[in-house]
Structure 1
Amino acid sequence: MRLSHIDYNSIKEKALKGRYITHNHITPILKDLPAVFKLEEIGRSVKDLPIYTVTFGNGPKKILMWSQMHGNESTTTKAIFDLFNLIVGSSKISSTILSTCTIKIIPILNPDGAMVYTRMNANIVDLNRDAQERSQPESKVLRNCYEHFKPDFCFNLHGQRTIFNVGNSSKPATVSFLAPAFDKERNISFTRAQSMRLIVAMNQELQESIPGQIGRYDDGFNANCVGDTFQMLNIPTILFEAGHYPNDYDREETRKFIFIAMLKAIDVISSDTLENYDQSAYFEIPDNNKLFFDILIKNVHIIDPIKYKEGDSLGILYKEVLKNEQITFEASLEKSGNLEGYFGHKTYDCTSENDFSYLKSATFAKLI
């Protein structure tokens, strides 16, 4: 199935936008879902907020997804609600999914972290490093859900920073994937190979829309990570990482590509076409690298020849700060010196008269 014909704007959930997505934002939408969806509260967070699942479909192929395990990674949550809207429509795609699959989704696993826009939960624990000990209530909720549902596939939905590029190119890693390892040697079991094939299918689909902007996440093994743990339990698991698209700090474009990737994966599972994709093509997807700054300022010695050497550059990253229920982006100097080989989502060069004048303004004075 090619997805280019889908009118994404018609199914995009307009009530969810921006980076700050919380329990308060999604609950009214969840409560208003039609009867095709089954809404359940499956547990409570450290601060006693409800953790919900939404289940739809009655087919034999079972897919479990969870989003916002890290509270500040909300792009995939928005894409989930776009998927709900697709299912509501009386299309051939939705009817096929409903008849062939049973899909269970946890829209926000870490509602406490989402409220204060942090990676950690309320006990300052990274839930994605708690898969073995399961010391936190949210970790127990996910594992209990997994054990009761007994999925055939797991989608672990995350977001990544603006620093990631694809390979050694100047293209941002707008979407990245990982077939998690199940052992230190990073061997390929049958189930890990299935994860790889699914990623190959999604990569092929996304290359039509964002060529060269799909990366492969590092597969270093860590048994404390949930994806690695579920892969160890012989369930094909895929890590989704929603990254940066040019001039899209609210991740409204990226959510569309995550939606397309999820839908492609579901279609491949639904149609039993996984074996059509060569697992070796997984390794042709370039690695994620960390070669981007939000702002790169070149030849900064022209502004301050005492402080900087000739040819020095500044690498500036934005800090995402929650203010009045909005995310603001505050510039902070990350690195200076010889930054040959790095890229900027915005690049200024002090040898340019226009750039020089702008960089001398109050906007950059405290950074330079």
Structure 2
Amino acid sequence: MNFISLFTQFKEESISGRYLTNSHIEPVLENLKQDFEISVIGRSVGNKPIHAVKIGTGKTKIFMWSQMHGNESTTTKALFDLFKFLKSDFEEASDYKNAFTILCIPILNPDGAEAYTRVNANEVDLNRDSVDLSQPESQLLRKTFESFQPDFCYNLHDQRTIFAAGDTSNPATVSFLAPAYDEERNYNDSRLKAVSVIVAMNEELQKHIPDQVGRFDDSFNINCIGDMFQSLNVPTILFEAGHFQEDYQREETRKYIFTALMKSLQFINENDVVCKNINEYLRIPQNKIKFVDIVCKKFSFLVDSLKRITNFAIQYKEVLKNNKIEFEAFIVEVGEELNSIGHVEYDGDGGMYTDDSNSIPEVNKKADFYLNDKIKFVNGIINE
């Protein structure tokens, strides 16, 4: 199958961007009711409905959940693209519905989604609550897991723009992890099954985003839901949707998450998932923190009438304003030696930095400034 072509055909156009809440997905869910089993399986701290989508009647059961962190919406978009494909009359869509029973929670944390926060309404990180189960959303996830008894779990997240795919200078556009099930990070049959699926997804993604797939850190933390489910002997896969060049709305990344989801279904459907390729998994480069959003090099400024030349790094903060995410640029590091790579880089060539305050680049300062009093930077970017 040509997954990229399928994405173009089945992209759910009614949802897009970074801000995704119940109000955005509920009309789409209403339209899916004639094809799939749509239900409200619980309520959030703020009494918002938590929806579930059940697809297919097959023997192999896959449990997927997204927006456990409310501000991580890319994988939710890809789920709706997958739903649109599965309701089609494609032969493979019918095959998958016969082979699988897929249970999805598109937005586990609707309060966090609405507030655009990582945490829930009680300011608890649900991905650190798998032991205490102190929150209704965590309790619901665990209850659903136990009643559904899945054969595979997909834990769907976003990751920040700071990650590179290993030692490359490429962003980690998609990262995976077969979480550890014990402190020693051993590999048992359950974890190896997750590894096998990841290797298949990586092989497909390398055709489209070569050297932009990473492997997430596998330090064991039983409070994390993936580690918990893996420890309960269910093959669990962490998906991390990351940055693609110039794609801050993550519409390109969405395409590659859809591709990974589709490849995983194809692979599980066509293969007896027994891992023989641990080395291929370990060759996927581990994520490294190497990026900032913008780097400005060789900008000069005056201190006590003396000219100094420095570099500085700029990072966006994601701010919810009027139901839209705005990216506000702030200086986060200043120094002659910067180890970070910028997704965008400017060479000041020794030109003079000025701004509307003290004309010195400083940490936490809004990234609005001038170069040589002629070139204006607004929100970190040259204002043409």
Same fold (TM over 0.5): yes
Opposite residue 260 of structure 2, the aligned amino acid is A
Residue 363 of structure 1 aligns with which residue?
378
CA distance in 2, matches of 1:307, 1:145: 66
How far apart are 1:359 and its partner, in Å? 8.4
Question: Is residue 52 of structure 2 the alignment partner of residue 53 of structure 1?
Answer: yes
Partner of 1:172: 171
Distance 1:72 1:322 in 2: 10
- TM-superposed deviation, 1:170: 1.1
The gaps in structure 1 that reach 5 residues or longer are none
Q: Deviations over 1:274-315 (max 9, x none)?
A: 337612211000010111010011112x24466999663211
* Corresponding residue to 2:341 among 327, 336, 343: 343
CA contact (8 A) 2:302 2:308 kept: no
Contact 1:308 1:337 in 2 (8 A): no
Which letter maps to 2:332?
A: E
Unaligned runs of 5+ in 2: 353-369
Where does 1:301-320 land on structure 2 (aligned, <5 Å)?
302-304=300-302, 312-320=310-318
Greater Rg by CA: 2
The structure where helix makes up a greater share of residues is 1
Amino acid paired to 2:212? Q
1:209 has 2:199 as partner = no
- Call closer, same or farther: CA 1:151–1:361 in 2, change over 3 Å: same
The 3 A distance-change label for structure 1 pair 150 and 349 is: same
Q: What's the C-alpha RMSD, in Å, of the aligned pairs?
A: 2.1
* Structure 1 letter corresponding to 2:220: F
Change (3 A) 1:324 1:358: farther
Seen in structure 2, the aligned counterparts of structure 1 residues 303 and 24 have a Cα distance that, compared at 3 Å, is: same
Query: Whole-Å Cα distance in 1 between the matches of residues 233 and 56 of structure 2?
Result: 23
- Which range is displaced more, 236-245 or 7-16? 7-16
Whole-Å separation in 2 of the counterparts to 1:50 and 1:268: 33
1:66-215 correspondence runs (5 A):
66-215=65-214
Q: Is the 8 Å Cα contact of residues 157 and 239 (structure 1) preserved in structure 2?
A: yes
SS of residue matched to 1:54:
strand
- Summarize the Cα distance change of 1:304–1:149 in structure 2 as closer, same or farther, 3 Å threshold: farther
Q: Which moved more, 1:7-16 or 1:255-264?
A: 7-16
How big is the shift at 1:9? 1.6
Q: 2:356 maps to what in 1?
A: none
Report deviation, 1:166.
1.0
What is the identity, as a one-letter code, of the residue corresponding to 2:264?
A
**What amino acid sits opposite 2:133 in the alignment?**
R
Tell me the TM-score normalized by structure 2: 0.90
In structure 2, the residue matched to 1:218 is 217
**Other-structure match for 2:28:** 29
Q: Whole-Å Cα distance in 1 between the matches of residues 275 and 237 of structure 2?
A: 18
Work out which structure has the larger RCO, using CA pairs closer than 8 Å and 6 or more positions apart in sequence.
Answer: 1
Mean alpha-carbon deviation: is it higher for 9-18 or for 63-72?
9-18
Change (3 A) 1:62 1:311: farther
Q: Is the 8 A contact 2:7 2:259 kept in 1?
A: no
Aligned pairs, how many? Answer: 363
Q: CA deviation at 1:125?
A: 0.1
Q: CA deviation at 1:361?
A: 2.4
What is the identity, as a one-letter code, of the residue corresponding to 2:78? A
